[in-house]
Amino acid sequence: MPYELNDKIKSIDPYEPEPGSYRVRLDANESFLPPSDKVREAIRTAVDTIHFKRYPDPLAAELCAAAAAYYGVNAANVTAGNGSDELISVIFNAFVQKGDKIVTFAPDFSMYPFYGRLAECPVLTLPKRQDFNIDLAAAADTVNSENAGLVIFSNPCNPTSVGIPSGEIVRLIQSVRALVVLDEAYMDFYGDSLTARVEEFDNLIVLRTVSKAMGMAGIRLGFAVANPALTAAIRAAKSPYNVNAVTQAIGRAVFSDTDGIRHAVTLIKASRDMLLGELNRISKEIPGSLKPVAADANFVYTQAEEAECLFEALKKSGIIVRRFGNCLRITAGRNLENVELINAVERFYTSNR
């Protein structure tokens, strides 16, 4: 008898970034800034001290201490992961059981339902309002009435770039029986985090990453921050050596330059604001073209008339962004990249009218 895949794995589509080579890549929410000279030197020094024949520290203690100092939390409340994605997978497999309901929202990060299906949990996806905000009171009612085991969402949101004030999220956390997983991958650009408040709640896990503001997407490093009981459970559920020695060394070097991180955030936010301003200008000068959303992350989300045609036109110009139905998500890039993008968008709408 030939081996057959089970129904669970047969129904899952892999995450597939846009293939191909493009002159201007504004599709993955990556930083356009390289590591500073200070960080590069710290990385070289740190990597030179690695004992490559030995397994890495299973708890990444020095790295977690460095991250904790930056986030203003107790190092005992921090767990390092091979990117936030690994931590989401660990949490889904450890804190809910087969058949437990998971609540998330749309639009939001596409991997939440993916990991929910792998955990064999029904995923309830609640639509957001027309302004892309979440009706948190209604969401809490649904979480409780459905007896959901876990609710997860990003703040600021990927892909909409909309941030939710922390006070509103606290009310949700306090009004549900479920575990709340708050993905703060883009929080460095918004500045209203709950990371330092995790010990106030028995049902909150906050996720952070070095991929965005710190420009370290290539090393795959994220953190889960939670109270001691939840942290102990996460550490017990993860694989023993999940963060390799090189990533641990580079991560420590990155957190050694807090002034550099803050400077990078300032530059990236300036680029985002410039991009948002120009897209708003186009929306006013060319009625019916774009409808940008206020941006709280390092990218701009905009509804776009003829979104698919605009997306393809940008690709032909050597510019790649992300399309979500009739909306585009555009990462803030270097000034010249932003200008090239804006010019291409203007050409598209003026030449088609």
pLDDT in tens, 215-248: 999 999 999 999 999 999 999 999 999 999 999 9
Name every residue whose Cβ is closer than 8 Å to that of residue 276 and which is 6 or more positions away in sequence: 292, 294, 295, 300
pLDDT at 8: 84
- Rounded mean pLDDT, 304-331: 97
- Percentage of the chain lying above the pLDDT 90 cut: 93
- Do 146 and 59 have their domain in common? yes
- Is the pLDDT score of 11 beyond 90? no
Give residue 138's domain range: 37-256
Q: Is residue 215 part of a domain?
A: yes
Predicted TM-score (pTM) of this structure:
0.96
- Residues 89, 90, 95, 100, CA torsion sign: positive
In a domain, 1, yes or no: no
- How many CA atoms, within 13 angstroms, populate the side-chain half-sphere of residue 336? 2
pLDDT for 265 beyond 90: yes
| Claim to verify: residue 162 and residue 211 sit in the same structural domain | yes
Evaluate if residue 180 carries a pLDDT over 80. Answer: yes
Residue 169 and residue 45 share a domain: yes
Among 112-121, 249-258, 344-353, the least confident range: 344-353
Number of domains in the chain: 2
Looking only at the bridges linking them, the beta strands covering 150-154 and 179-183 are parallel
**∠ at Cα 257 (253, 263), nearest 5°?**
135
What is the three-class DSSP state of 252?
helix
206 and 170 fall within a common domain: yes
pLDDT in tens, 21-60: 899 999 999 999 999 999 999 999 999 999 999 999 999 9
Same-domain status, 17 and 132: no
| Helices vs strands, H then E, count in the chain | 12, 13
Q: Worst-scoring range by mean pLDDT, 8-12, 61-65, 121-125, 285-289? A: 8-12
Count CB-CB contacts under 10 A for residue 339: 14
Residues 225 and 275 in one domain: no
> 227, 256, 285 — which closes off a domain?
256
Q: Note the pLDDT tens digit of each residue in 66-104.
A: 999 999 999 999 999 999 999 999 999 999 999 999 999
DSSP string of 28-77?
A: S---SPPPPHHHHHHHHHHHHT--TTSPPPTT-HHHHHHHHHHHTS-GGG
The answer on 250 and 177 residing in a single domain is yes
pLDDT at 168: 98
Task: Give me the CATH number covering residue 227.
Answer: 3.40.640.10
Residue 288, pLDDT > 70, answer yes
pLDDT for res 7: 85
pLDDT at 353 over 70: no
